[in-house]
A = this chain, B = another copy of it.
């Protein structure tokens, strides 16, 4: 069974064929897991640190603070995500990593990452691919902030969360648990919490989705996709070719 595989292992196996040896090393990398309480700043902007983290359980986020006190959330972090994999290489973090819920993560020293590339380059490339996916998400997020309206940003964000949680086995059907507050959503989407509230009401009245009691239900995914131009995530492996993607 796959229960004993970590979330990251499952992700990587979708991206590349890994040998027993590589799997063993990956397991060793993820061995020691640390528990962080809800609200913990696991590392923070300006800290000199060479640790990276692989999230095993719980929700987190990375964000930056502006001199004005405003907060901009860069990304919501879910199980199977790597945080700071590259920043760990140069020993300085430029954002804060916060545990939104209680969170369990494996801590990895920067040096081991360098060793990883030396000893298991193929595994290293697979992890690069995973971070490339994460980067694509950041880019899509940037597009949202630059060119989408408030309601479009919200719809897009929930479609994406739904996709990621489904892949991680944390969502079934159209609904999922979501610990984010409306303030978190506001700081993610570059809006005020008040406007987030109004747009969530709009989405509810339009019967597209509901957001209540830490639970999200996507009632009409089709219309939400239409609204945002969202193209679902490619669930296939790296050997993608031809006519399945990019229909528009």
Contacts and interface: CB of A to CB of B under 8 A. Distances in A.
Contact of A240 (B74, B91, B136, B138): B91
Contacts of A72: 142-143, 146-147
A139 B87 CA distance: 13
A234 B132 CA distance: 24
Q: How large is the interface on A (under 10, 10 to 19, 20 to 34, 35 or more residues)?
A: 35 or more
Given A64-B139, A89-B128, A90-B238, 15 more contacts: A46-B246, A48-B240, A67-B248, A72-B142, A86-B132, A90-B240, A94-B136, A117-B117, A117-B121, A118-B122, A121-B124, A128-B128, A138-B139, A145-B146, A145-B190
A13 interface: no
Contacts of A220: none
Given A64-B143, A146-B145, A125 B89 contact: yes
A89 B145 contact: no
A39 interface: no
A45 B140 CA distance: 13
B90 A129 contact: yes
Nearest to A67: B229
Contact of A132 (B71, B89, B121, B240): B89
Contact of A245 (B46, B124, B132, B146): B46
13 contacts: A45-B246, A48-B240, A48-B242, A66-B143, A66-B148, A66-B229, A72-B143, A87-B132, A89-B128, A89-B129, A89-B238, A92-B240, A142-B145
B48 A139 contact: no
A89 B130 CA distance: 11
